[in-house]
Chain A
Amino acid sequence: MTLATAILLTVITAATPLLIAAIGELVVERSGVLNLGVEGMMIMGAAFGVVVAVVTGSSLLGVLAAIGAGVALAAVFALLTLGLAVNQYASGLALTIFGLGLSGVVGAPFVGIQRDGIGRIAIPLLSDIPVIGPILFRQDPFVYASFALVAGVAWFLWRTKAGLILRACGENPVSAHALGYRVLRIRLYAVLFGGACAGLAGAYLSLVLTPFWTAGMTAGRGWIALAIVVFASWLPLRTMLGAYLFGGLIVLQLHAQTAGVAVPSQLLAAMPYLITILALTLIMAMRRGGGAGSVAPAGLGQPFTPDR
């Protein structure tokens, strides 16, 4: 294995949790809901994933528990923002803080318990392709799942009627309601899907990347996932690009630190956000020039209450 392949492998490993969380949040935002609770749902997934895996000895049950934890927190978020029409920003922030706290309590008895991470699965034939084989087809199941998620979400949003309806709810909830669609129900499904993805991304952290529990182990990855959605201007394939770009930056940051490069690590840690701002600026500049890049769903963050 060459050095370049090794580096690319670590980039994919660093990027996969970002990608899974971001693709879930993309669906949520396309339905018109801004979920700032991604970080909280992710860490809940990480905590419940490792705790259940340790207790039952089954990684699969751990993963399912992680998804369940993400969905549970997303359900609370949906109850607040959809059921009670509470401010989405405040609810999301509150749930992030809540998730960080509760995960610490749940995980406390398990601190330092090591277990074997979920292993890699080599896909026959494909994994023998030189260079890209080892990178793409000798991976853990999460990486394959992330590929499937991106393809599935892209297909769903642009090739199915249900996806069109979901985008319509994010674009103009009032009109979607007037056409007879259940905006709140559709947004609920989207929010739960986003929660499941965030939980899954959390499981990757605590079951694969560093297979043990430490409090606050998401370390801001939920926020980077939110930035990726914006960076990607709400498009699935660009989300993939953004996740690998930002994953690469995380790896770069680690290597720069160990190599003692004179760049402050804080600057590197800030790069994803700086790049997001830059990308947004470029997209807006392109639009002014007549280019038609995709921008935010028009109804994003807009609470909706049917008057029936």
Chain B
Amino acid sequence: MADRSPLLAAEAVTRRFGTLVANDAVDLTVMPGEIHALLGENGAGKSTLVKMLYGLLAPDAGRILWQGRAVSLPTPRAARALGIGMVFQHFSLFDALSVAENVALALDEAAPLPQVAERLREVSRAYGLPLEPGREVWRLSVGERQRIEIVRCLMQNPQLLILDEPTSVLTPQETEGLFETLRTLRDEGRAVLYISHKLDEVRRLCEAATILRQGRVVERCDPRQQTAASLARMMVGSQIADVRRARAESAAGPVRLRLDSLDLPSEDPQGTSLKGVSLELAAGEILGIAGVAGNGQDELFAALSGEAPAPRAAAIVLEGTPIGHDGINARRRRAAAFVPEERLGHAAAPRMALSENALVAGHAANGFLRRGFVQRDRMLAWVDAVTSAFDVRKGPRDPEARALSGGNLQKFVVGREILRKPRLLVVSQPTWGVDAGAASLIRQALIDLAADGASVLVISQDLDELFEIADRIAVIFHGRLSPARPAEGLTREAVGLLMGGEGFGPVADTPPVMERVA
């Protein structure tokens, strides 16, 4: 241990947005050759902090030290010149441009494109991150897109690599690959600042952690010495309620929803068509659909909600009635409810008040209308009911949807559907990007709904979530669905292999191997 002086240190860094103090005198120290975790709930100030370290935001107070010297970072270019690289949570890629063009944009020197492509090949080979420079980004998988981000950082030869929630979109196998790369980087003496709220990963990968809560540093620790529960406690500041699964395992009721080899060509030319999707969902059961994003989840949700009517009415049967040709309202009147993945724009109209959003979603079934006229008091009463039942925190009684934080809006849109007491609830990514407290509340609500006899279908990329709440789990891959297996006794590895496409057989007109075996 010759050199134990910090590579990067932030001292009492403060940043305000209006009245909100996003970072309040935050101290952070990253040593060379260290994988350092930055932990915290949504809104704890992690992204604000790293944006300042990368020169995207200017701190209001405090200073940043690089190798012991105070530096100012007016632009990302200045940060890159020091040796700071960043991989963004929502990829900063340009879909219509090629891999090489995307990389060239992030390089500060003006090198001709063929030369960039050549160096790109070298670096990607050296770190085992294969990439084809000429491909356009929209043709690539999420994992490949992330590789572009990492490779283009590495081409700058950075001393510090910042990764913002890098694994939220990867399969367990892809995650392992990423960890291998990060460990190689650490062994080369580089430092990694790793932002995540996946506590198990942090415990496996990182040797130091700084924990933020409401813009302040609340704890520093070695995550290898902690349990996931103790880390979670530090993040949240209180014990997270364990989700209760108080249901008899054998209580599976009659089949409520049946999909019978549903084929559905995707309307989006870059989407995934559904091929022969079959499933059965019983009353009182939660079925989880796992899979890497872009494998047909959006199309499956659209088929179930009625946004994309099925070619055959009998392909979708709800309580014995073929509903494949029915529209969204017809399905809602049959006591089905739907919560799509995107909160703003799909589940809720951002610039409309909550009451208006409730009206739009429930006009056919909730009794908000009388002879075509809107019953404003009933809508407001409904908003109040959802608000109190699901602990939605908001300022005014009836704000615009976009004024709510992600977690609170998600509680509202889930609550809006659950309060209608549906017999079938289809929900996509119920807790994506939601803080731990809200996530726990939403998961509990789904379990309680099923305990009351409803059927719940959860599409999620979060395996922890599915194992926590689902009775059975199926995997969607390239538009095909594996048979559902009981969550009890199923391993994460088995699900991970299915998510990577193993066991689905070649993509051909022959029936998939899984179905013949089953």
Residues of A at under 8 Å CB distance from B?
Answer: 161, 164-165, 167-168, 171-172, 174-181, 287-288, 290, 292, 294, 297-298, 307-308
Residue from the list B76, B80, B91, B94 in contact with A171, Cβ < 8 A: B94
Contact B88 A178, beta carbon cutoff 8 Å: yes
> Contacts A164-B104, A165-B105 known; A174 to B95 CB distance under 8 Å?
no
Count A-B contacts at CB 8 Å.
56
Q: Contact: B58 with A168, CB < 8 Å?
A: no
Contact assessment for B94 and A180 in the assembled complex, using a CB-CB cutoff below 8 Å: no
Q: Which of A172, A178, A288 interacts with B95 by CB under 8 Å?
A: A172
- Contacting residues, chain A, for B329 (C-beta < 8 A): none
* Nearest CB in chain A to that of B109: its residue: A161
Q: How many residues on B have C-beta within 8 angstroms of the other chain's C-beta atoms?
A: 23
B residues with CB within 8 A of A: 55-58, 75-77, 80, 88, 91-97, 101, 104-106, 110, 136, 269
**If the complex has contacts A178-B88, A288-B269, A308-B56, are A167 and B75 also in contact, measured as CB distance less than 8 A?**
no
Assembled-state Cα–Cα distance A292/B98 (Å): 13
B105 touches A168 (CB 8 A): yes
Q: A161-B104, A161-B110 are in contact. Are A178 and B92 (CB under 8 A)?
A: yes
Contact A178 B56 (CB under 8 A): yes
Give A179 to B96 CA distance when docked, in angstroms: 17
- Are A179 and B92 closer than 8 Å at their CB atoms? yes
Chain B residues with Cβ under 8 A from A290's Cβ? Answer: 269
Complex Cα–Cα for A168 and B92 (A): 11
What 15 additional pairs, Cβ within 8 angstroms, besides A164-B104, A175-B91? A161-B110, A164-B97, A168-B105, A171-B97, A172-B93, A172-B94, A172-B95, A174-B92, A178-B56, A180-B75, A180-B76, A180-B77, A181-B105, A288-B269, A294-B96
Contact of B58 with A298 in the complex, beta carbons under 8 Å: no
Cα–Cα distance between A175 and B102 once the two chains are bound (Å): 11
Cα distance, A178 to B88, chains bound together (Å):
9
Please report the C-alpha to C-alpha distance between residue A287 and residue B75 in the assembled complex, in whole angstroms.
Answer: 39
- Chain B residues near A292 (CB, 8 Å)? 136
Of all chain B residues, which has the CB nearest A180?
B76
Let me know if A308 and B96 touch, CB within 8 A: no
B94:A175 contact, CB within 8 angstroms: yes
A175 contacts B56, C-beta separation under 8 Å: no
| Chain A at the B interface: SS class | helix
Is B97's CB under 8 angstroms from A167's CB?
A: yes
- CB nearest to B269 among chain A residues: A288
Cα A279 to Cα B110 with chains together (Å): 37
Residues of A within 8 A of B136 (CB): 292
Chain A residues with CB below 8 A from B75, complex form:
180
User: Which residue in B80, B97, B110 is a CB contact (below 8 Å) of A168?
Assistant: B97
B residues in contact with A172, CB < 8 Å: 92-95
**Contact among A167, A178, A179, A308 with B58 in the assembled complex (CB-CB below 8 Å):** A308
Sample (24) of A-B pairs whose CB atoms are under 8 Å apart: A165-B105, A168-B97, A171-B95, A172-B92, A172-B93, A172-B95, A175-B88, A175-B91, A175-B92, A176-B94, A177-B56, A178-B76, A179-B76, A179-B92, A179-B105, A179-B106, A180-B56, A180-B76, A287-B269, A288-B269, A290-B269, A307-B57, A308-B57, A308-B58
Q: A177 — which chain B residues lie within 8 A by C-beta?
A: 56
Which residue of A has the minimal Cβ distance to B93?
Answer: A175
Residue of A nearest to B86 (CB): A178
Which 9 pairs show the lowest CB-CB distances between chains A and B?
Answer: A180-B76, A175-B92, A178-B92, A171-B94, A161-B110, A180-B77, A180-B75, A288-B269, A172-B94
Asked if residues A168 and B94 are in contact (CB atoms below 8 Å), the reply is yes
Set of chain B residues within 8 Å of A294, measured between Cβ atoms: 96
B269 neighbours in A (Cβ, 8 Å): 287-288, 290
CA distance A175 to B424 in the complex (A): 39
How far is B97's CA from A297's CA once the two chains are assembled, in angstroms?
A: 11
Q: Which residues of A contact B93 (CB under 8 A)?
A: 172, 175
How far apart are B148's CB and chain A's nearest CB, in angstroms? 12
A168 CA / B136 CA spacing, docked (Å) = 13
A171 to B105, CA, bound (A): 12
A176 to B93: give the CA distance in the assembly, Å.
8
Q: How far is the CB of B235 from chain A (nearest CB, A)?
A: 25
